[in-house]
Structure 1
Amino acid sequence: MLQAIGLTSAPRRDLPPRVDDLTFEARPGQVTALLGAPGSGKTTALRLMLELEPGRGVTYFRGRPLHRIPHPGREVGVLLGDVPGHPARTVRGQLRMLCAAAGVPASRADAMLEVVGIAGLRDQRLGSLSLGMDRRVGIAAALLADPCTLLLDEPAAGLSPRERNWLHGLLRGHASLGGAVLFTTDDAKEAARSADRVVSIEAGRLVADQDAADFARTRLRPRVAVRTPHAARLADVLGREARAAQRAVEVVEESGSRLSVYGSTCAEVGEAAFRHGVLVHQLADETGDSGTPVPQARTATAPGATASGATVTAAAGGQEAAVPGARVPARTGGVEGRGGRPGSPRPASPVRRVGGPLRPLRYELRRAFGTATPLLTAAVVVAVSVVTALLLARLGHTPQNRLLAAWPEPFPLPPAALGAGLLGALAFGEEYRYPALAADRGTVPRRLGLLIAKLGVCGALALLLGALAVTADAAALALVFDRGPLRPPAQWIAPAAAWAGLLVGCAWSGVLAAGVFRSALAGLGAVVSVPLLVVPLLRKALDGPSAYPASGLAARLRGLSWAQWPPEADRLVLGALRVMAQPVGAALALSLLVLLCAYGFTGLRGRVRW
């Protein structure tokens, strides 16, 4: 069972909160619709339930809040937004990546593609899918881990009637197996037709919480839909008979051949057409929009003539009035309520869970290499680095270390460091742009495992990118200048360690900053800000001689350690300390520490609920 209690979004300046003290529940075995006009707070309510939006209140999923569930992706299936993933990723690659995140076998992706009916599109790019196929991919992603609860934001928006019927049947099939389904919509007829219970909200507040049958009876207007080539004649016949019987009947001529009759039944309309010899092509019960009719002056129409616009004939005690009719799509069969047709059932076989510490790592590897972004970034970095190194060698007066790194003195960072920072920033930036892990972002253990995997993968990519750039620079210099600018290095360990530390530090800064600020652009900005802002501040703070030098620190560290390292290792320790003592190294280490603390604070803050 899903229980939302006192959901209240963070207040806005001079405006009320989007969601204000919203309390309702979605029961297992039922489909619940969260109904409201656009801007009424439906999406904000879902984000509050998933702990993606700051605010108050709590949501219990089978008695536990989301941040107390060890594996939220296995408890809650989520569909937020229109695009379920990066447009360049394939359908199968997206689902296999999410299988790794949820801890289920990769074969589950193919099984769910069969369930939603798009097995033939497994190699298509997400960006090339139509809206209906896109929603099917989103539903498949939500059902991957066989969750007990489904939270879907406007799943049927923009779909054709046939696709809507398929979607609602699938949701009802999930509920018939004991699951709880909550979806948002702004269509009252869709809510009455597809849900067992309708929760209506307006301006973020609860308006009504009703059974679907009660909702249809109290909030919607039943009517009879008629299609006939003699619409004007039949409207006049129904008006005259209603006046003679002293009954209140409203007839709305919505087009040249379509009538909507309020206050009557199919039997009465059919009998009146038969008595007067009016041909009828369609006669069905429907549910129209809610609302109170607005009286207008009736436009008289001669028998057999066609009235312009929508003509309404109302008869009540001999009085006639015109009422504007709502032009809504026809739906036959009345309100379905609880007895809807079940959709395609989920696979009956149990879902085998895959545990172990490599699950986040497997997910991150699939995320990183599921698109061409690493290859494109590496190609651009190598090209820019080679051109820059050749220009620096042509101009001369550049140290060999900076020449191989293609790092001019005025530039804040070399191309390889910027590329490493970009890859790190995209590690979290893609997920906040394409909410694939919406249900898993609220838990600290899941975030910690995901963070370690991202740091490891991005650090390895940064080292690989740096080695590739240095190798390409050296090869280009040797090819163009016949090794003129290059000399065998006397000491290569310390420069190599400094180069590796710079690349890994930039990649980690991008990862942490994107995770804190939820934006890839902010992550890249944090990488660039280290040499532009933090380094000058540290230089000012450390300017001047030190009153107490730290000579002999390596020997003292060796004495404090449990395992005695050889004296030759002192050179490595001194090299690392020398790198840390440089302004860029110290600024990068300080920035990483600050970002790591901020990341931990944002994760812990997600656990605090009013």
Structure 2
Amino acid sequence: MLQAIGLTSAPRRDRPPAVDDLTFEAPPGAVTALVGPPGSGKTSALRLLLELDPGRGLAYFRGRPLRRIAQPAREVGVVLGEVPGHPSRTVRGQLRMLAAGAGVPVARADAVIGDVGLGGLEAARLGTLPRGADRRLALAAALLGAPHTLLLDEPGAGLSAAERLRLHELLRAHAEAGGTVLYATRDPKDAARNADRVVALDGGRLVAAQGADDFARTRLRQRVAVRTPHAARLAAAVTQEARAARRPIEVATEGGTLLVYGGDCAQVGDTAFRHGVPVHRLAEETDEAAPGPVAPGAATPRPADIGPADTDTDTDPAGRAPADPGPAGPSARGGRASLREARRPVRSPLRPLRYELRRIAGVPSTGLVLAGALAVSAVLAALLGRGGGTPLPAVLAAWPDLLPLPPAALGAGLIGALSFGEEYRYPALAAGRGAVPRRLALLLAKLAVSAAVAVLLGALAAGADLAALRLLYGPDLIVVPDNWHSMAASWLGLSVGCAWAGVLGAGVFRAAAAGVAAVLFVPVAFVPLLQQVMSGPAVRSVAGLPGRLGEFVGPRWAPSLDRWLAGALEVVAQPSGVALALTLTVLLCAYVFTGLRRQARW
């Protein structure tokens, strides 16, 4: 049971609200259509139900407000426009990534592909899908969590007649299985033909809420369209016979077509035959009545009659009883409860690590960045080794003086920046597709995956550079230094730090370019400044710190730890290490601060 009580959108400037005191219900086991002309407030009403737009009113899904539903994807499936996936991602990859976000098994993605008729397009890229397949993909994403309620905005837009028929068959099957379906459409004939109940809107206000049969009888009129070269003669004959039979009838002409209200094709055809009038076209049509007050017989729900759903529909798919739904209606809060106050923060994916792995592996940009960084690194290492005057660490890292960072570190930073940059460019975690959740679990998943990719890229780059040097110049150039531990730690730490700077920079400023700028800020601006600060004479030194720590800890201090601690101190003492650590700290604090201040939307 879906219940809306007093939904009112926040007006913009001096304009009236797009939705004004809207109250209706969509019962389970039935398809409900939200009908109205363009600009009548259908989409705004759906967004108010989902708490995506500020406003007032209450919305209950099986007796619970949306903010109290632990797993929204398993309660509400939403189709608001397109599925904004990455154009290079495949249909199967997109749905499997969304399945990880919804916390459902990956097999569910393959099941909904067959349910919506996308079989054979599993490997197709999203950017190459035709219009109809794109709409079916949106419906598949809504069905991933096997939700009880479906909310769809113009689901049949752009589909062929056969595709619309299949779509409404899916919606009908979902309703017959006990689910609730609410979809918005501008076509009243579509609503009368495919829905069980119709909620008509005009100017943001309720016009009628009634059964589809009552809606067709009170809001639609049947007419016969006739195309004939003698329209005037046939109109006179039809009118004359109707008056003789005392039947109410209305005849009009529109664009060369004769329109007869109050008759059927058989009556009009017989009249034309008797009077010898040739007929080129004869068909029955449905004409929408003009908007007006609630028609007689319309069942318009009153706010006082609507409260949380009955207890027999108050359990979720797992059989658990819901939380207390709060006040039963507007009598408890004046019918004007603020949706802005009720808005809850966005939930991160239920399986964030699996989601991030599928996200980063599902687009070709990751492989292209890795391959490009390895190729550039090997070429630069070969050029640096040819001169013989470059230190071995710089040769293996392929880090000439003219570059602010080595190619591997730049590649790691770019991959990190894309991890949040693509989320904001192609948001997949929010139903309204307007926000990306700022939750700790998702951040930790992105940091972990980007760090693993950075370590892998750093190791592969060093190996590729070493192989290029041995192939071109022989093994004599490579001499393993004694401090290789600290060198390896410094190299991997630089790669991971750049990746994290890209992640946090893109997360704070909501763009991949900002993440890349945060990576380049460290060597270009921060390190020179820090070198000037640290270039002065040192009054005190931390030399001998490992030995003093051993005296402090006592006999439990292992002598082998001296070498590792000395290497770690050597890495941390580098200006680039200090600058990178400070930058990461500032970005992390900014991410947390903006995440707490900005109210994300589901």
RMSD after superposition: 4.3
How many residues are matched?
Answer: 541
Which position in structure 2 is the counterpart of 1:232? 229
Cα distance change on mapping 1:82 and 1:18 into 2, 3 Å: farther
Which position in structure 2 is the counterpart of 1:492? 484
Q: What is the distance in 2 between the residues matched to 1:21 and 1:559?
A: 75
Runs of 5+ in structure 2 lacking a partner? 293-316, 320-348
Cα distance change on mapping 1:226 and 1:102 into 2, 3 Å: same
The residue identity in structure 2 corresponding to 1:500 is L
- Structure 1 residue 105: deviation in Å? 2.7
- Structure 1 residue 602: deviation in Å? 4.8
Which position in structure 1 is the counterpart of 2:26? 27
1:507-522 alignment to 2 at 5 Å? Answer: 507-522=499-514
Which position in structure 2 is the counterpart of 1:424? 416
Q: What is the distance in 1 between the residues matched to 2:387 and 2:57?
A: 64
On the 8 A contact 1:77/1:151 being kept in 2, the answer is yes
Which position in structure 2 is the counterpart of 1:105? 105
Deviation by residue 1:130-168 (Cα, 9 ceiling, x = unmatched): 221222222122112211222333322211122112212
Which position in structure 2 is the counterpart of 1:269? 268
Q: What is the distance in 2 between the residues matched to 1:120 and 1:360?
A: 29
Which position in structure 1 is the counterpart of 2:459? 467
On the 8 A contact 1:365/1:457 being kept in 2, the answer is yes
Instruction: Determine whether 1:568 maps to 2:567.
Output: no
On the 8 A contact 1:455/1:511 being kept in 2, the answer is yes
The residue identity in structure 1 corresponding to 2:370 is A
Which position in structure 2 is the counterpart of 1:211? 210
Cα distance change on mapping 1:49 and 1:515 into 2, 3 Å: farther
Q: What is the distance in 1 between the residues matched to 2:58 and 2:596?
A: 16
Deviation by residue 1:45-64 (Cα, 9 ceiling, x = unmatched): 65565566678877554454
Q: What is the distance in 2 between the residues matched to 1:592 and 1:170?
A: 49
Cα distance change on mapping 1:517 and 1:173 into 2, 3 Å: farther
Q: What is the distance in 2 between the residues matched to 1:359 and 1:533?
A: 38
On the 8 A contact 2:78/2:152 being kept in 1, the answer is yes
Cα distance change on mapping 1:210 and 1:7 into 2, 3 Å: closer
Deviation by residue 1:255-299 (Cα, 9 ceiling, x = unmatched): 6xx65445655565345334324455543241348589xxxxxxx
Find the residue that maps to 1:163 and give its secondary structure.
Answer: helix
Instruction: Determine whether 1:162 maps to 2:149.
Output: no
Instruction: Work out which of the residue numbers 577, 585, 588 in structure 2 matches 1:585.
Output: 577
The residue identity in structure 2 corresponding to 1:503 is S
On the 8 A contact 1:26/1:182 being kept in 2, the answer is no
Which position in structure 2 is the counterpart of 1:176? 176
Instruction: Determine whether 1:286 maps to 2:286.
Output: yes
Please, which moves more after superposition, 485-494 or 534-543?
534-543
Q: What is the distance in 1 between the residues matched to 2:406 and 2:55?
A: 42
Please, which moves more after superposition, 75-84 or 205-214?
205-214
Cα distance change on mapping 1:143 and 1:608 into 2, 3 Å: closer
Which position in structure 2 is the counterpart of 1:198? 199
Cα distance change on mapping 1:399 and 1:199 into 2, 3 Å: farther
- Structure 1 residue 460: deviation in Å? 1.0
1:116-195 alignment to 2 at 5 Å? Answer: 116-195=116-195
The residue identity in structure 1 corresponding to 2:223 is V
Deviation by residue 1:36-77 (Cα, 9 ceiling, x = unmatched): 666777656655655666788775544545454332222222
- Structure 1 residue 462: deviation in Å? 1.3
The residue identity in structure 2 corresponding to 1:118 is L
Cα distance change on mapping 1:237 and 1:54 into 2, 3 Å: closer
Find the residue that maps to 1:211 and give its secondary structure.
Answer: strand
Q: What is the distance in 2 between the residues matched to 1:109 and 1:481?
A: 52
Which position in structure 1 is the counterpart of 2:252? 251
1:401-550 alignment to 2 at 5 Å? Answer: 401-439=393-431, 447-483=439-475, 486-535=478-527, 538=530, 544=536
The residue identity in structure 2 corresponding to 1:514 is A
The residue identity in structure 1 corresponding to 2:506 is A
The residue identity in structure 1 corresponding to 2:199 is V
Find the residue that maps to 1:438 and give its secondary structure.
Answer: coil
Please, which moves more after superposition, 281-290 or 373-382?
281-290
Deviation by residue 1:108-132 (Cα, 9 ceiling, x = unmatched): 2332223223333333333333221
- Structure 1 residue 537: deviation in Å? 5.5
Q: What is the distance in 2 between the residues matched to 1:410 and 1:15?
A: 57
- Structure 1 residue 491: deviation in Å? 0.7
1:8-47 alignment to 2 at 5 Å? Answer: 23-24=22-23, 26-29=25-28, 30-35=30-35, 46=46
Deviation by residue 1:438-458 (Cα, 9 ceiling, x = unmatched): 249999999433333222222
Q: What is the distance in 2 between the residues matched to 1:451 and 1:154?
A: 34
Q: What is the distance in 1 between the residues matched to 2:259 and 2:14?
A: 41
On the 8 A contact 1:238/1:269 being kept in 2, the answer is no
Q: Percent identity?
A: 56
Q: What is the distance in 1 between the residues matched to 2:419 and 2:510?
A: 11
- Structure 1 residue 91: deviation in Å? 2.7
Find the residue that maps to 1:389 and give its secondary structure.
Answer: helix
Which position in structure 1 is the counterpart of 2:314? none
On the 8 A contact 2:47/2:53 being kept in 1, the answer is yes
1:546-557 alignment to 2 at 5 Å? Answer: none
Cα distance change on mapping 1:447 and 1:38 into 2, 3 Å: farther
Which position in structure 2 is the counterpart of 1:391? 383
Cα distance change on mapping 1:290 and 1:424 into 2, 3 Å: farther
- Structure 1 residue 463: deviation in Å? 0.9
Runs of 5+ in structure 1 lacking a partner? 293-349
Q: What is the distance in 1 between the residues matched to 2:44 and 2:477?
A: 60
Find the residue that maps to 1:466 and give its secondary structure.
Answer: helix
- Structure 1 residue 358: deviation in Å? 9.4
Cα distance change on mapping 1:608 and 1:421 into 2, 3 Å: closer
On the 8 A contact 1:416/1:465 being kept in 2, the answer is yes
- Structure 1 residue 367: deviation in Å? 2.5
- Structure 1 residue 471: deviation in Å? 1.1
The residue identity in structure 2 corresponding to 1:233 is H
Please, which moves more after superposition, 208-217 or 119-128?
208-217
Please, which moves more after superposition, 464-473 or 587-596?
587-596
On the 8 A contact 2:412/2:454 being kept in 1, the answer is yes
1:313-332 alignment to 2 at 5 Å? Answer: none
Which position in structure 2 is the counterpart of 1:596? 588
Which position in structure 1 is the counterpart of 2:71? 71
- Structure 1 residue 240: deviation in Å? 5.8
- Structure 1 residue 207: deviation in Å? 5.6
Q: What is the distance in 1 between the residues matched to 2:538 and 2:44?
A: 55
